[in-house]
Structure 1
Amino acid sequence: MTTSIVIRDEQSADAAQIAAVTLAAFATLEISGHTEHYIVDALRAAGVLTVSLVAEIDGRIVGHIAFSPVRMSDGSAGWYGLGPVSVAPDLQRQGIGTALISEGLARLRAIGASGCCLVGHPAYYGRFGFSNPPELALAGVPPEVFFALSFTGQTPRGEVVFHDAFKATGPTPA
């Protein structure tokens, strides 16, 4: 990719473009419930988007990533969930997702987070240091697609619970 990517914090005026990119990014993914744009809106409405970044090329938002707090059954604090992460279909596989994930993880480390977890493709997230911890699980999710990355060397034990916004299936009520 020869054009420069700008990674920046989400601004309130970005919401519609973020929804459009997210919807397009997941449109053809068979395992998607096609609710990811609703999840982002619900996280935003709940005020729990700890880190919300956009990727911009020539003023066009071409990607987005969200990080929000998760709860650990063992009481471990400072853990966040990554997701969803979206890149415009015409620009996928060009490093935009990698740039968003790398910057988002750096931001979490900078605020003193303990770690990050996600549900994602097994072949993708290992390069960022994520692994499938046998001592940690997400109910209803196969262990091979659940990942965690500890920033402290300590991985919680038990179950992780993502924010209720991840249950969103439609527009967030005003």
Structure 2
Amino acid sequence: MTKENVLIRDEKKYDADVITEVTAAAFESLEFSTHTEQFIIEELRSSRALTLSLVAEVDGHVVGHIAFSPVAISDGTTDWYGLGPVSVLPPYQRKGIGTALIQEGLSRLKDLGAKGCCLIGHPQYYRKFGFENVPGLGLKGVPEEIFFALSFDGCFPQGNTTLHEAFKATGPQAPAGNTDASNS
């Protein structure tokens, strides 16, 4: 497999189920995962909070996904986004697919007029994209060494970052219109 075999494209409606499968498989064996990443994506999608949702295809099969959604920052800064989750099927990991998804996603965010992007992630991995720990910018409850930001305009906000409510998802969504879980 070479980079020429990888197609990065926008998510289409028919991709939703396979994105759920790819995401669950990608995080299945990771100790730090709460194994709710697929539910977060589903909730972001249903809330229309997926600013960018890209898939990576190899030979016509979806093998990776990345999501970007708006964040709120307590100093009032706008046009900042959160990266994540990013997922690649285990047999395709460490082959440049995650890197391709991140690079394409960041490029598209810039094209949309975004001022910056933040994420929670592995320090050695995300620094290579220009992400850095920014004093005075954080996410409550997250150690500062794993909270990263990348400014597209050279200015970093200050304050607490708030992710979309979808990041609190812990399981599958209830069917539309079902507000009573007891089914009585």
Q: TM-score, normalised by structure 2?
A: 0.93
| Alpha-carbon distance in 1 for matches of 2:135, 2:108 | 26
Distance of 1:66 and 1:91 partners within structure 2: 18
Among all aligned residue pairs of Structure 1 and Structure 2, give the percentage whose two residues are the same amino acid: 62
Q: Which runs of 4+ in 1 moved over 3 A?
A: none
In structure 1, stretches of 5+ residues that fail to align are none
Three-state SS of the structure 2 residue aligned to 1:16 is helix
Residue 21 of structure 1: how far off its partner (Å): 0.3
2:14 is matched with which residue?
13
CA distance in 2 between counterparts of 1:145 and 1:86 reads 18
CA shift, 1:41, in A, is: 0.2
| Partner residue in 2 for 1:129 | 130
Q: Quick one: distance in 2 between partners of 1:172 and 1:49? A: 16
CA contact (8 A) 1:45 1:172 kept: no
Q: Deviations over 1:24-59 (max 9, x none)?
A: 000000010000000000000000100000000111
Where does 1:1-174 land on structure 2 (aligned, <5 Å)? Answer: 1-2=1-2, 4-173=5-174, 174=176
RMSD of aligned residue pairs (Cα, Å): 0.7
CA distance, structure 2, for counterparts of residue 151 and residue 4 of structure 1 = 29
Question: How many residue pairs are counted as aligned between the two chains?
Answer: 174
Task: Kindly indicate whether the alpha-carbon contact (under 8 Å) linking 1:137 and 1:160 is maintained by their aligned counterparts in 2.
Answer: yes
Q: Structure 2 regions of 5+ residues with no counterpart?
A: 177-184
Which structure's CA Rg is the greater one? 2
Q: CA deviation at 1:135?
A: 1.4
Normalised to the residue count of structure 1, the TM-score between the two structures is 0.98
Question: In structure 2, the residue corresponding to 1:7 is in which secondary structure?
Answer: strand
